[in-house]
Every structure is written in structure tokens, then in C-alpha cells.
Amino acid sequence: MFPPNVNLGKRFTALGVDLIILGIFLSPSIKNILSNSFFLWFGRNSFAVYLTHGTLLKTVLTYMIYGNITGEPWVVTKNEKGEDVLPPWFPRGSPGVFAICIPIWLVIVYTVAHFWTTYVDSFCARVTQRLENLAFESDNEKTQQLPR
């Protein structure tokens, strides 16, 4: 079924995912559930989430979990024996902080993604359309410029 000397775990996982996709495709009830407006909203904003989540994770979530990081340089000092002494790690928030911050951060990510989809995508589409109109001639312009 599979070529020799392959990672069978990955192949069977891929086959299982393919069967799940086929099951969703053939099942009208699952299609109906996934056509819910809630899931459609998530799907519409998924690319914007992909674009913005990294920046928000490195800025907003880091601030929420670790607090105010001063940005001071990481200075390695020496002790009496001449050995390197690393500065202490930033103290991380408790599990309760994680339980509160992660859901709040997810709401922030999807809010930013919604605004991105609503405003930035439409602005970029308008700019792209204008550039296309400048770069390509329409059929009417081509026929009018031909000599008779």
C-alpha cells in the first residue's frame, strides 16, 4: 500500500485525515453543522488570524504573561571563581494567569483578525484593482486604438 522504507505513522495519519475529509464531504449532516454562521465566521477570518497571531503572541500575550519587560540587555556576570552567572529568568505568571490571559488573548486575536478582514483586505483589494486597471488595457481601449 505504501512505498518501502517510509514512516508508516505519517502515512496512516495522512490516510486517516483523508478518510475524515471524505466522511465530511459525503455527510450532509456534518456539512450542515459546518455551514453554521459561527464556523463560517471563523473560516472567513482564519487567514487574518494566521497573519496577525504571531505579532500579537510576541507582544500582547508576552506582556500579559510576563508583565512589564524593561528591555534591559541580558548581561552575563562572573562569580568569584570566574564562572559565568546567568541572570534569572523572567518570572512567569501562575496557572491562574494563564487561565485568564489565554482566552482574553484569543478574543483579542479574533477581534484584530475581524477588523483586518473587514478593513485591510478590502483596502488591499481596491488598491490591487486600481493597479490592474493601470497595468492592463481593457478590450474597449484596444479596439479604439486600431487604425481603420
* Residue 6: per-residue pLDDT: 82
Length of the chain: 148
Question: Mean pLDDT per segment of 10 residues, for the chain of length 148 residues?
Answer: 81 92 93 92 96 95 83 80 83 89 97 97 94 80 58
Q: Write down the pTM of the prediction.
A: 0.68
HSE-CB at 34 with a 13 A cutoff on CA atoms is 12
* Residue 141: per-residue pLDDT: 61
Q: Which candidate, 62, 20, 63, 45, places its Cα nearest to that of 109?
A: 45
